[in-house]
Chains A and B, each alone.
Chain A
Amino acid sequence: MVNYKIAVASGKGGTGKTTVSLNLFYALQKSLNQKIQLVDCDVEEPNLQLFTNGKLVSEDDVNIKIPVIDKENCLYCGDCASACAYNAILFVKSISHIAVLEDLCHGCGACSYACKQEDIIVEKDKKLGQVNRYELADQAELIEGRIEIGAALAVPVIGKTLKSTDSNALRIIDAPPGTSCPVMETIKDVDYTILVTEPTPFGVNDLKLMVETMRKLGGKFGVVINRSGLGDKTIYKYLADENIELLMEIPFDKTLAKIYSEGKIMVDEFPELNAKYLQLFEKVKQNLNETDSHR
């Protein structure tokens, strides 16, 4: 039994994060006899569910608490507005005007803490998204985070998605693209991060940003090159110079792209790919064991 948290991230979008997460998950699900969870933290555009066809077993809302101000009894002191770091409370003293700008509110609670009057600020739930749990097979689940369309705050949804996973299970986590706060929230507490890239100038540039991110975080990571054969060879030199482990390469192949487009799982169609993904997991495990022995 292993209960690693392995994230799959990329910097650049569309390099194959979802492909790698899915195929690694299914290769392992078939070979390991233990609980395993696939986790979708790309909450703006969660795609894993399109490939897994699971049975929805639970839906949990992700809410933040936002303030409601009792305008009749408010003393219009402005303390709440000064406490708000997000300019989410519009306050004009001269005309005794106060309003909550809900889209700007992060739900931190500073305004209700700052208000000295009792019951002037109460809080209500605002839904940011939800965490959906799908049963895929015996001991296999998909935990999916999904933001509401128009909601700007992804981080709380990612946080709750990760909290909803089973700490005894092996977890394969699909991260959002980019290098900003949603990615950090996803990978800050994982055991290992697989960075997926493609051998193009955009792919290499965004990989460099992710490597910077990983080094700032201090987490273990390695690289998977997807669509090898496209683009140029710059990436190999970069990996060698930086002493970064190349975990796996997936050749550019229109057949694979077609299989992905249809929502099919590649390791189910090609046994040799299945073996490759199991090897990938062995490499990750080796890296993690090394860390343990250093402790």
Chain B
Amino acid sequence: MKQIAIVSGKGGTGKTSITSAFAAIAKSKILVDCDVDAADLFLVTNPTIEIKHRYKGGEIAVINQETCTNCGVCIDLCRFDAIRLIEEQTTISEFSCDGCRLCELACPEKAIQMEENFNSNWFESNTRFGPMVHAKLGIGEDNSGKLVTQIRDRAKKIAQEKNLDIVLIDGPPGIGCPVISTLTGIDIALMVTEPTLSGMHDLNRLIELAKGFKLKSYVLINKSDLNDEISNRIEQLCIANEMEVLAKIPFNRSFVDAMVNQKTLIEFAPDSDLSKTLHTVWNRLILDKV
């Protein structure tokens, strides 16, 4: 079984459109949407949810106002600046609390308790492309990396049970915690970039991050005709890092038109040059032995 993730550094380069195209091409696979806080793959794959799981996100400290004496011990100890005296009442900000439990441990009145939150869910679904595991992180939730790990673990199990060849992962943008959880243990990363200064800068940071993992990386330059000079510089960057550029795809409105029609590019324009290019890229991605 091979785990392939589509990642990007910069957002909006076309990860999800390209992942969904691969979903239509690949034969024996399970889909995973690891962009858990702004998941979009479901808009194209239209999954039927079979099992809904509650995800236990981080805990949050809650103060019992009755027993709190406003002694200020917790305020001094909290390193997340989450506890303040507001209108003479010690108050914890749910948006700043990191769930470390230090205040609970230290409160001399035992007035602080941790509350679990279950604002996030994850799903095992079926789509016209096969099984899919995806999630919806609660608004402003912490622990998106753990949720990514959880859905990836489940997807891998399903792939083993059903004897599927590929786990196809739509990754989150950036290089932080959810991206680290997405890259951990995968075999191949396809980095989708665009020829802008931002796109190149973000790709560069992603390449550096990926060096810490045991995986093979490839690059796809989307909207390549936007700036030929930067496109060439990205190719140079890839050569310097011994990475293969699998395709340069000029700006193509069909990606958006396909999305509006809730179709993958492959379904929307099956005979287009773009479809052919994406087939070629996919065939190259699955060529490597792992």
Contacts and interface: CB of A to CB of B under 8 A. Distances in A.
Interface residues of B, number: 65
Interface in B234-290: 251, 253, 256, 259-260, 262
A12 B175 contact: no
Given A45-B201, A149-B175, A200 B256 contact: yes
Contact of B11 (A13, A155, A213): A13
A109 B105 CA distance: 11
Given A108-B98, A150-B209, A188-B96, A15 B38 contact: no
Most-contacted residue by chain A among B93, B100, B176, B227 (CB, 10 A): B176
A257 interface: yes
B24 to A, nearest CB: 17
B205 A45 contact: yes
Contact of B176 (A51, A106, A152): A152
Most-contacted residue by chain B among A106, A147, A180 (CB, 10 A): A180
Contact of B139 (A50, A213, A262): A213
Contact of B80 (A18, A51, A108): A108
Contacts of A13: 8, 10-12, 38, 173-174
Given A12-B40, A230-B253, A263-B197, A110 B100 contact: yes
A179 B38 contact: yes
B37 A12 contact: no
A257 B9 CA distance: 19
A102 interface: no
Nearest to A111: B102
B165 interface: no
Given A47-B198, A202-B259, A106 B10 contact: no
A78 interface: no
Interface stretch (A30-38, A67-75, A204-212): A204-212
Interface in B184-204: 194-199, 201-202
B151 to A, nearest CB: 15
B140 A184 contact: yes
Nearest to A215: B139
Contact of A12 (B8, B12, B212): B12
Interface string B89-100: 000010110111
A45 B38 contact: no
A223 interface: no
A206 B174 contact: no
A154 B142 CA distance: 11
A258 B228 CA distance: 10
Interface string B30-43: 00000011101001
30 contacts: A12-B12, A14-B10, A14-B11, A14-B173, A15-B12, A44-B175, A45-B173, A47-B202, A51-B197, A65-B79, A83-B101, A86-B100, A109-B77, A113-B105, A149-B175, A153-B176, A178-B174, A179-B38, A179-B140, A180-B144, A181-B144, A188-B96, A202-B43, A202-B259, A216-B139, A230-B253, A231-B259, A261-B197, A262-B227, A262-B230
Interface of B: 8-13, 16, 36-38, 40, 43, 59, 77, 79-81, 93, 95-96, 98-102, 105-106, 137, 139-142, 144-145, 172-180, 194-199, 201-202, 205, 208-209, 212, 223, 226-227, 230, 251, 253, 256, 259-260, 262
